[in-house]
Amino acid sequence: MSITVSYDIACADASNEWEAVGHMLTAASIDARGVQVTYRGIAPHGWPMMDIKFKTEEDARRATAAYMGIFDINDQEVVDYIHGEF
């Protein structure tokens, strides 16, 4: 079952939001061919917003853990983030 998660993307270590998403997926060991990324525009705080559709919830957890700098994909903060309970 696929799952879509929204992220505001900081580009400090990348030249643009697409490269930053690539870094996040690489850090999570997710093949970029297995996801669908949609640009949603600029958030009020000035960062690009991206929706990422993952094939599985495990992939979403891995990417979200990488995004949050958490090493446990079962951490409650990760689970809450992907289910919109943050």
The pLDDT tens digits along the chain (86 residues) read 899 999 999 877 889 999 999 999 999 999 989 899 999 999 999 999 999 999 999 999 999 999 999 999 999 999 999 998 76
Count of domains for the chain: 1
Do 3 and 55 meet the contact criterion of CB atoms below 8 Å apart? no
What DSSP letter does each residue of 13-31 carry, written as one string?
TSSSHHHHHHHHHHHTT--
Q: What is the pLDDT of residue 11?
A: 78
For the chain, what is the total number of helices (H) and then of strands (E)?
3, 3
Q: Residue 17's domain spans which residues? A: 3-82
Which two structure tokens, joined as six digits, stand for 74? 């079962």
Q: What is the CATH number of the domain that holds 46?
A: 3.30.70
